[in-house]
Amino acid sequence: MFDATSTSDWWKGAVIYQIYPRSFQDTTGNGVGDLKGITQRLDHIAALGADAVWISPFVRSPMLDFGYDVSDYQAIDPLFGTLEDFRTLLDKAHSLGLRVIMDQVLSHTSDQHAWFLESREGRDNPKSDWYIWVDARPDGSPPNNWLSVFGGSSWQWEPRRGQYYMHNFLRQMPDLNYHCPEVQEAVLETCRFWLDLGVDGFRLDVCTFYAHDPKLRDNPPNPNIPTGEAFRFNPYSQQLHVHDIGQPETIAFLERLRALTDSYGDRALLGELHENDAVRIHREYTTVKRLQLAYGYSLLGAHEISPGMLRDVARDLGHEDDSGWPCWALDNHDFARAITRLGAEDRPDAVTVILAALTCLRGATCLYQGSELGLPQADLPRESIIDPYGREFWPAYKGRDGSRTPMPWEAAKPHAGFTPAEPWLPVLSSHRERAVDVQQGLPGSTLNRMRQFLNWRRNVDALREGGMSFLETTENILAFRRTTESETVTCIFNFGGADETFLLPEAETGPALEGHGFGAIRQGDTIHLPAFGAFFAGQPS
């Protein structure tokens, strides 16, 4: 077990493995993953070389948004197991040296939550102000032009109160009112409950959405509408979201939450940020006494990732010693899988080298389940789509189910060993071919390369905690140094599909480091990098 009084910055440079519990491992035979399944497979994550797991929501929920619509913050949903199952998971993870980060959805609840059921009944009950209630305009229309991420107005009429309530996502997911002090206290009490149980931190879902503009001013139009696949289908991106989210009251609350987690020792907060004014938001939210880590969508939505792009993003977010720490995320449950998005299904090593580079940049890294296998995006037919986001915008957008299909563990078993029953989402044959048991027996597989590299990297202190400076390179090369008081490590990555050479600068780089599994040859100061290869050298500082 970990020492609860420790103040170590374990999260610096951490590799955080994201588990989508519905799709990880089913032990009950109902076709849906569960907490016992996670516990059963924790050895896989520890062997991979991860430092922590982030588990997507598993508390009680009607499951309209698969756990992101919470109806009871302090109860495990029976679909996933019991509180005792979670305690067992915590104990097993800690015995393996893995921290456990719990997904907390604090911006909104389900409309089945007891708080909302009371609040909607009238304007004078004890929880009447716990949600965002507004009178209609004289013509009966909503109070402003705010839009829901999942389509349509972000205002829903409630006849019991004769008012609209605000929802940034599904209409069944009303937003909490963070201008109400009692709401903040209730949310902090929720977090205290899980900290007392021993969780090592929280991933804060859409944490810039907590507070809204109490003046309810209209959002202005967006003069630079994103053009990527993830944005063009949805009018939500046609507004600049300057009043419905990203308010200063959110930062004040995060400082209160940080003070709470700090009182428990070495706990960490990982925030999900939006992309409006992304650089400013990241710097504000990761400054002292706020979030330890945060990630945005710049890589998650990208269809091309180049060395120049990564240098620019790292510099923009701030890579100096006094800057906040980013968390690099290439895949997660909300975006298409990178190997498909980046056109690398036939060359998984093109994504492996990007993941390796991200883990060596200053910051932590989220590794989504299946990324270590090089899983492609599942292309599901319309009748298989159950994601409400995808069903709303089909066919322009197919939703998020394609990145949420079950983990393939054993190729020869029914549904690749995920479940003996019909799974909640199908297991593709292309995923079965990349199952864990298949790749374990292949020396050059994506899984074995990731295992070798991540286990090598976790023992190089400079790659976890060091400062960072970039080296000048050609188009396909990313090169930088990570430096601590005792060590400097030079990292060089070839993102291109052809061999490249790189001339080391005059400054001494020290001998080549071995054991990471990436091929490169050094001849004097010249490094010969194969396609999607990497080179590392180290010396005392």
Query: Over 412-440, what HEC string results?
Result: CCHHHHCCCCCCCCCCCHHHHCCCHHHHH
Say yes or no: 261 and 367 in one domain: yes
Under the banding of pLDDT at 50, 70 and 90, the label for residue 200 is very high
- CA dist 493 and 356 (Å) reads 9
Evaluate if residue 343 carries a pLDDT over 80: yes
Query: Using one digit for the tens of pLDDT, what is the confidence trace for 141-196?
Result: 999 999 999 999 999 999 999 999 999 999 999 999 999 999 999 999 999 999 99
Say yes or no: 264 and 197 in one domain: yes
Q: Look at the alpha carbons of 491, 492, 495, 498 in this order and tell me if their dihedral is positive or negative.
A: negative
Burial of 43-76, coded b for 16+ CB within 10 Å and e otherwise, reads: ebbbebbbbbbbbbbbbbbbbbbbbbbbbbbeeb
Average pLDDT, integer, range 526-535: 97
CA distances from 179 to 63, 182, 207, 245, 261 (A): 27, 9, 15, 13, 21
Average pLDDT, integer, range 440-462: 96
In this structure, what CATH number is given to the domain that contains residue 334? 3.20.20.80
The H or E element that residue 308 is part of is: helix 307-317
Q: Look at the alpha carbons of 391, 299, 313, 98 in this order and tell me if their dihedral is positive or negative.
A: positive
Say yes or no: 359 and 487 in one domain: no
Say yes or no: 431 and 304 in one domain: yes
Domain C-terminal end among 422, 457, 492? 457
In this structure, what CATH number is given to the domain that contains residue 474? 2.60.40.1180
Average pLDDT, integer, range 302-310: 96
Evaluate if residue 228 carries a pLDDT over 90: no
Say yes or no: 390 and 257 in one domain: yes
Q: Look at the alpha carbons of 208, 210, 215, 220 in this order and tell me if their dihedral is positive or negative.
A: positive
Say yes or no: 393 and 246 in one domain: yes
Do residues 167 and 177 make contact, with C-beta atoms less than 8 angstroms apart?
Answer: no
Range of the domain at 530: 466-539
Say yes or no: 397 and 282 in one domain: yes
CA distances from 509 to 13, 238, 480, 525 (A): 22, 49, 11, 9
Is 471 part of any domain?
yes
Please name every residue paired with 366 in a beta bridge, in sequence order, or none if there are none: 16, 329
Do residues 321 and 467 make contact, with C-beta atoms less than 8 angstroms apart?
Answer: yes
Cα-trace Rg, the chain: 23
Is 145 part of any domain?
no
Evaluate if residue 77 carries a pLDDT over 80: yes
Q: Specify the pLDDT at position 1.
A: 41
**For the residues of 83-107, what is the DSSP string, one character each?**
HHHHHHHHHHHHHTT-EEEEEE--S
Do residues 2 and 200 make contact, with C-beta atoms less than 8 angstroms apart?
Answer: yes
Say yes or no: 316 and 376 in one domain: yes
Say yes or no: 363 and 317 in one domain: yes
> What letter represents residue 533's amino acid?
G
Under the banding of pLDDT at 50, 70 and 90, the label for residue 322 is confident
- Can 383 be counted among the known catalytic residues? no
Say yes or no: 186 and 62 in one domain: yes
CA 518 to chain centre: 26
Evaluate if residue 305 carries a pLDDT over 80: yes
Structure tokens, 531: 């396609």
CA 530 to chain centre: 31
Domain C-terminal end among 457, 477, 512? 457
The count of domains in the chain is 2
Higher pLDDT, 276 or 160: 160
> What letter represents residue 335's amino acid?
F
Evaluate if residue 109 carries a pLDDT over 50: yes
Do residues 99 and 53 make contact, with C-beta atoms less than 8 angstroms apart?
Answer: yes
Do residues 431 and 416 make contact, with C-beta atoms less than 8 angstroms apart?
Answer: yes
Longest dimension (CA), the chain: 78
Q: Specify the pLDDT at position 28.
A: 98
Is 36 part of any domain?
yes
**Set 85, 272, 331, 487: catalytic member:** 272
Query: Using one digit for the tens of pLDDT, what is the confidence trace for 4-43?
Result: 444 489 999 999 999 999 999 999 999 999 999 999 999 9
Is 157 part of any domain?
no
Say yes or no: 442 and 492 in one domain: no
Do residues 535 and 529 make contact, with C-beta atoms less than 8 angstroms apart?
Answer: yes
Is 278 part of any domain?
yes
Say yes or no: 250 and 301 in one domain: yes
Do residues 246 and 282 make contact, with C-beta atoms less than 8 angstroms apart?
Answer: no
Structure tokens, 82: 């019991």
**For the residues of 439-506, what is the DSSP string, one character each?**
HHT-TTSHHHHHHHHHHHHTT-THHHH-EEEE----TTEEEEEEE-SS-EEEEEEE-SSS-EEEEPPS
Is 224 part of any domain?
no
The answer to pTM > 0.95 is yes
Under the banding of pLDDT at 50, 70 and 90, the label for residue 275 is confident
Question: If you average pLDDT over every residue of the chain, what do you get?
Answer: 95
Is 474 part of any domain?
yes
Domain C-terminal end among 397, 432, 457? 457
Do residues 502 and 527 make contact, with C-beta atoms less than 8 angstroms apart?
Answer: yes
- Can 205 be counted among the known catalytic residues? yes
**Set 34, 103, 205, 284: catalytic member:** 205
Under the banding of pLDDT at 50, 70 and 90, the label for residue 227 is low
Is 156 part of any domain?
no
Under the banding of pLDDT at 50, 70 and 90, the label for residue 229 is low
The DSSP call for residue 221 is B
Average pLDDT, integer, range 343-360: 97
Long-range Cβ contact pairs of 211-215 (< 8 A, separation 24 or more) = 211/178, 211/179, 211/247, 211/248, 211/249, 211/250, 211/253, 212/132, 212/166, 212/175, 212/178, 212/179, 212/243, 212/244, 212/245, 212/247, 213/243, 213/244, 213/247, 214/179, 215/243
